Amino acid sequence: MLFQHVGDPVTHLLGQDATPEQRTQLRADLGLDRSVPLQFARFVGNAVQGDFGLSLRQGRKVSTLIAERLPATLELAITAAVLALGIGVPMGVIAALRRGSIVSQILMTVSLLGVSLPTFLIGILLILVFSVGLHWLPSFGRGEVLRIGGWTSGWFTVSGWQHLVLPSITLAVFQLALIMRLVRTEMLEVLRSDYIRFARARA
């Protein structure tokens, strides 16, 4: 039933000119001639051993595809995390120290928007403004990368950073908002503690 909606992967891999024998053989090799529970059990068993099977769309090993995309994924995740920590912590401290001020209210409004807006919507808005409207940054791709052994990185090229800015900000906004609110709450709790009051009383 699934293949009736998404298409037969055997036809996609072999093409229209394949013989019935070739189709039957490939279907058996991929385990598609078995029931769904058996296919799932086979996949789980192979995945435990590090074999994630064959991509039915590209006809290549899934582990190879993951290895190719892992550097870009880690690069994006690390950049977003550093950005969230580097901005979220200072913003949380400022919001706590200037509690009740206009600056604190603006920061809390920004954090509320960051938590409330879906990540995909933030990404779309950034693309509309900085890619479509201002033409400052690219909307897709990875840019020029530098190969270091078996690892590829865009951290060492201008083009790589240009392609990394928008997705990093998109991922960092939600984390940044949470970190800022957490730091603000902890800072306010510390500022209300007895030893801080005693220190202020003694000037």
> 78-114: per-residue pLDDT in tens?
999 999 999 999 999 999 888 888 998 999 998 999 8
Q: Residues 6 or more apart from 57 whose CB is under 8 A from it?
A: 9, 12
Lowest-confidence segment of 2-11, 110-119, 145-154 by average pLDDT: 2-11
Residue 129 DSSP one-character state: I
CA distances in angstroms from 130 to 8, 77, 110, 140, 163, listed in the order given: 40, 21, 19, 12, 12
User: What is the C-alpha separation between 64 and 21, in angstroms, rounded?
Assistant: 28
pTM over 0.85, yes/no: no
Supply the pLDDT for residue 203. Answer: 58
